[in-house]
Structure 1
Amino acid sequence: MVAFVGIPARGKTVMAHKLARYLNWTGEVAKVFTVSEYRRKLVEQYDSHDLFRADNREAMEIRKKSSVTAMEDAALWLKEEGNVAVLDGTNATKSQRENVYDYCAKLCCKVLFIESICDDDDILSRNIKEVLQNSPDYKDMAQEKAMDDFHHKIQHYLEQYEPINPKQEPNLRYIKIMNEGETISVRRVAGQIEGRILAFLSNFKPAPKTLYFSRHGESENNVLGRIGGDTNLSPRGRKYAQSLARHMNEVKIEGLKVWTSELCRTKQTAEGINAPAEHISALNELDAGVCEGLTYEGMQDKFPQEFAWRDQDKLRYRYPWGESYVDIMARLDPVLLELEHEDNVLVVSHQAVLRCILGYFLNKKPEELPYINVPLHTLIKITTDGYNCHMECTKLNVECVDTYRKQPKNCSADRTTDDALLTVPSHFDSLNFWQLTGQSSLITQH
């Protein structure tokens, strides 16, 4: 169990949800249990900060019951479903932390405390603004009254707050974070899961950020409907590269950085952008192994069994001598950690890779990743809002093929060729298609 510690407006809830999202991405099964949600079930209408006064005995019992119920639900979930329960609460006193520790000890469950401390006025101001905008407690309260009430609530917690003290609480294992990672102190953290937690918290910056993503421009293999390879951009792809560079240079994003894969089509797409570029192998397209350079028609002809297996479980299917989406997720781990503390980055990469990255930020289930539509010649903007992300797509006006393939209804190994190719996107049989007249060279499936 992971138990957060700290007074309100220290970014605990955002951190808790983002941590759970990251752990789920890495293959753990994590869930957040937010104590305030349990409190709202007991007190339907929040009236004032008096609920948090130390001398309000009735309210204290309600808050205690909320904490206990959240902890019990988290323990039951750990027993039946997952392996990391994240307890999102204040646990602001030594006695509250003792209760969590003792409860977990009885269940033979490890507990790691994460304490968030903040004395930076700018961070506090931003956090308070986010709470007032997003908390159900203040949705029907006038802004000025809500601000006053929340400041009183913080003051009540300050009067009761006891930071973790290793001399007084020698049994606790914890990570203590100051001002969103300005400094981090660690005590008795060990093991794979706790190592992942520490890695994430060392990189995560809760401040609002904007990230940009684009596939490379249309490539020669895209035109021909071929998988993978390291081909150049098509004439339309080069036109998109010019359009993308013009767009990014005109908006003049402060501190913009460009990340591309090591493949030439992404480098060519980004070469006109006035920003430092870094070429990262983890952003390379999924390796299709023996199927590199084949069309889907060719794969069905040469490897019909492989093609069927791919359609049956596209997430886990690994090309012979190649990769699967699960493999991409693993190699993207350091990239995602970098993106968690970066701002104003443009990532120019490939369809499968961007499906995984966008799926992470949009909190998609792993099974959804292989079917996220990431069209060519489109700039995607991701902005963070607390632990949620919003996506905005800008289609630049340059024609291109459509490479999106839906999962066919018939995925059996004994299906007909027509059934196997039913959802294969249209493509051309020649790179000189724009010069042809008369009969079209566009290959379509019916």
Structure 2
Amino acid sequence: MHSDYNALSDEKTSVSDYPSNLHKAIMKRIRETNKDTINDDFIMKVWTSLEPESIRASNLFLDKPNTLVRNRMMLRGIDLGICNGMSLKEIKEKHPDEYSKYISSAYNYRFPRGESYYDLSTRLEAVMMDLEREEKAVLIIASPSVLRCFYAYIALAPLSRRVIPSLSFSHAYFIELTPTAYGCIEKKFPVF
């Protein structure tokens, strides 16, 4: 979804208006999707991490009818240990040995006192199973590291998990994934 700090990217992003713009875009999509159905039948669940920027974005959905917001502790972003809060460029400058180990095996490498993408994916398994059981729409608001894991789980199932750290999401759009019998349908919608 979004984050003031895009864990393990080359840059930090400023997204002060992003939660409001995302909210407008998602509500527009919901109206378009459900214009022919009775509103009482539609329920959207919002699952959010407890990180401040995710809470701020999810708060915009609290007063919406037929929307249930649930804080999920397991959706917290990857813990980079001694490198928390640093971009890849900063890690390369301050911890060149750790950087080279990460580059050689990004999915499996753990920064000291941190977790790997493998660890994060394992932590998210229970939430992913919950998502599979959901019959209603679910919006996940979490850090980019968490969204990478969910995207790979739903959209990239036949591909190697090693691509997870390299996935990138733009603030210019949000992604709607609809599971099907043999994969999923992916649609991108602009964020105003």
Superposed CA deviations along residues 318-374 of structure 1, whole A, max 9, x for unmatched, are 011001000011111111111101120000112121111111112131112222222
Unaligned runs of 5+ in 2: 35-41
Q: Does 1:249 align with 2:27?
A: yes
Unaligned runs of 5+ in 1: 1-214, 227-232, 398-446
Partners of 1:375 and 1:322 lie apart in 2 by: 26
Q: Tell me the equivalent position of 2:38.
A: none
Using CA pairs below 8 Å that are at least 6 residues apart, which structure has the higher relative contact order? 2
Secondary structure of the structure 1 residue equivalent to 2:16: helix
Measured after TM superposition, the shift of residue 245 of structure 1 is 1.6
Partners of 1:337 and 1:351 lie apart in 2 by: 20
Measured after TM superposition, the shift of residue 290 of structure 1 is 0.3
| Matched letter for residue 20 of structure 2 | Q
Structure 1 residues 279 and 241: alpha-carbon distance in aligned structure 2, compared to 1, 3 A threshold: same
Q: Tell me the equivalent position of 1:387.
A: 182
User: Among 17, 41, 45, which residue is 1:239 paired with?
Assistant: 17
Q: Tell me the equivalent position of 1:283.
A: 75
On the 8 A contact 2:25/2:189 being kept in 1, the answer is no
Superposed CA deviations along residues 109-152 of structure 1, whole A, max 9, x for unmatched, are xxxxxxxxxxxxxxxxxxxxxxxxxxxxxxxxxxxxxxxxxxxx
Q: Tell me the equivalent position of 2:147.
A: 354
Q: CA RMSD in A?
A: 2.0
| Matched letter for residue 306 of structure 1 | E
| Matched letter for residue 225 of structure 1 | E
Measured after TM superposition, the shift of residue 377 of structure 1 is 4.3
Partners of 1:243 and 1:298 lie apart in 2 by: 30
Q: Does 1:334 align with 2:126?
A: yes
Q: Does 1:309 align with 2:104?
A: no
Q: Tell me the equivalent position of 1:258.
A: 46
Secondary structure of the structure 2 residue equivalent to 1:282: helix
TM, length-normalised to structure 2: 0.81
Measured after TM superposition, the shift of residue 392 of structure 1 is 1.0
Aligned residues: 172
Partners of 2:165 and 2:91 lie apart in 1 by: 18
Q: Tell me the equivalent position of 1:344.
A: 137
| Matched letter for residue 184 of structure 2 | C
Pair member with larger Rg: 1
TM, length-normalised to structure 1: 0.36
